Amino acid sequence: MATYLKIIFSFILFFPLQSMAQKISLNRSLVDRQVKNITLLANYSYLDLWIPSKYGLSLSYTPDSGASYDIEYLKAELSLGWFVEDLGSFSDERLSILRRSFNGRNSFNFIMGAYYSKTQVNIGSKLLSGITPQNNYDILRIENLGITLGVGNRWVMKNGFTIGADWFSVNIPVHNLETEDLFTSLTNDTEDRANANDAIEAFKEIPGVVVLKIQLGYSF
């Protein structure tokens, strides 16, 4: 009888400790966010308008386990010279200030913030047949301010290694800071001018969708 009582008593003591250990393990990221306040991350944004495969860095500050604040810079450039010599290039860069709200969750977070973006098209001499003089490169440049909304996960390991995945986010243009458009004022081709105007309006007004941005770094 005494043996059975010892077994039951040991089980009663051990079970809460085991449950607590499992809970701590499941909430590893939440616990580590309370003691690791600074995170440096490398970013790769797989599907990102207007140019996919953006890359960059972000610095994150976590005052408590409930929220993190990120400064993030991403850039991508597409050179068309691979297909036609001197055709031009297309670049897109974005600087963001983001707040990640965990609200007691382990890794899942809601993202909200603001961004500055610059989209630039450099037109090469192969596309300047309707422009005088042809020895100049004309630039389309659009600078916007906007807001960012999204969802993601960020896991902080015990050793500080940090993995993040922003599954989906959208960058909504709110205000156009500057539009530099030399192409439409110099081209003699009516169709080219109309197409360029349509592209500029798209860059200024259409929200940019981001799918699967991966982050790898270290928290300390």
Q: How many CB atoms lie within 10 A of CB 12?
A: 9
For residue 83, give its domain range.
2-219
* Cα separations in angstroms, 118 against 27, 29, 47, 168: 39, 34, 18, 21
pLDDT at site 202: 84
pLDDT at site 212: 96
Burial class (CB in 10 A: 0-12, 13-18, 19+), 82: exposed
Residue whose pair of structure tokens reads 């030399």 in the numeric block: 182
Q: How many CB atoms lie within 10 A of CB 11?
A: 10
Mean pLDDT by 10 residues, the chain (220 residues): 46 40 54 83 94 96 93 90 59 96 93 96 63 57 96 93 97 94 73 78 91 96
- The DSSP code sequence of 129-174 is TTBSSTTSPEEEEEEEEEEEEEEEEEEE-TTSEEEEEEEEEEEEEE
| pTM (predicted TM-score) | 0.78
How far apart are alpha carbons 208 and 47 in whole angstroms?
10
pLDDT at site 13: 43
Number of domains making up the chain: 1
Q: Residue 104 has what DSSP assignment?
A: T
pLDDT at site 19: 38
CATH of the domain at 188: 2.40.160.20
